[in-house]
Amino acid sequence: MSGDALRWTTGAVILLLVAALFVAMARTWRTRTRAQTAAVPPVPVPTGLGPAAGSWDGFTVATTRADQPLERITAGGLGFRGRGGVTVHDTGVVLHHAGAADRWIAADAVRGADRATSAIDRVVEPGGLVRLRWTATGAAGATDLDTYFRFPEGDAAALAALQGLTTTHEHPHTAGEGTN
């Protein structure tokens, strides 16, 4: 085999291996999403919620399993960072995430809200993220989750509204910096 033919063959083999790697990654992501959908089913926003205590836009950074900031939840559009926010009502929270349907979290599923510094691949100044702690109930049972937000216009009011919701419904109040 000549030098040019060997280089072309080597290049073709490398391209095939890279393509196979990308196919394997995509299949793994889809499999993970399907498996998590049973644990974290989408909950549509109910009608007639009444007035909102407030609505805040910013960025949804990540959703992870509770106290496992490297275990990303991929189901229901929660797997990617993007534009998003929250609307807080007396009866629960509406999660907004660009490219996905709004998701309802009933007040009795909210476990707390606090500040965090990092989630998966995002590290910010100390306390620069708002962490909403909630429980999703699906066919696989209850799964405790943490959803992280970044509100560039200020997050004190959003954090207070989320904490007020958990206080109103007698859930344990998560305090301090958090575990991450």
The predicted-structure confidence for 47-68, as pLDDT tens digits, reads as follows: 888 888 889 999 988 888 888 8
What letters, b where the CB count within 10 A reaches 16 and e where it falls short, cover 116-144?
bbbbbebeeeeebbbbbbbbbebeeeebe
Residues 118-143: tens digit of each pLDDT = 778 777 788 888 999 998 887 667 88
Do residues 149 and 130 lie in contact, with contact meaning Cβ atoms separated by under 8 Å? yes
Residue 123: strand, helix, or coil: strand
Which of 7-16, 131-140, 141-150, 161-170 tops mean pLDDT? 7-16
Give me the chain's average pLDDT, please. 83
Q: pTM for this structure? A: 0.76
| Predicted local confidence at residue 168, as pLDDT | 55
Residue 21 pLDDT > 90, yes or no?
Answer: yes
Residue 26: strand, helix, or coil: helix
pLDDT-based confidence at residue 177 (cuts at 50, 70, 90):
very low
Express as a percent the part of the chain with pLDDT over 70.
91
* Torsion from C-alpha of 130, 136, 141, 146, nearest 10 degrees: -10
| DSSP for 144-177, written as a single string | EEEEEEE-TT--HHHHHHHHHHHHHTTPPPP-SS
User: Nearest 5°: CA angle at 124, between 118 and 129?
Assistant: 65
| Predicted local confidence at residue 167, as pLDDT | 61
Distance CA 85, CA 55 (A): 8
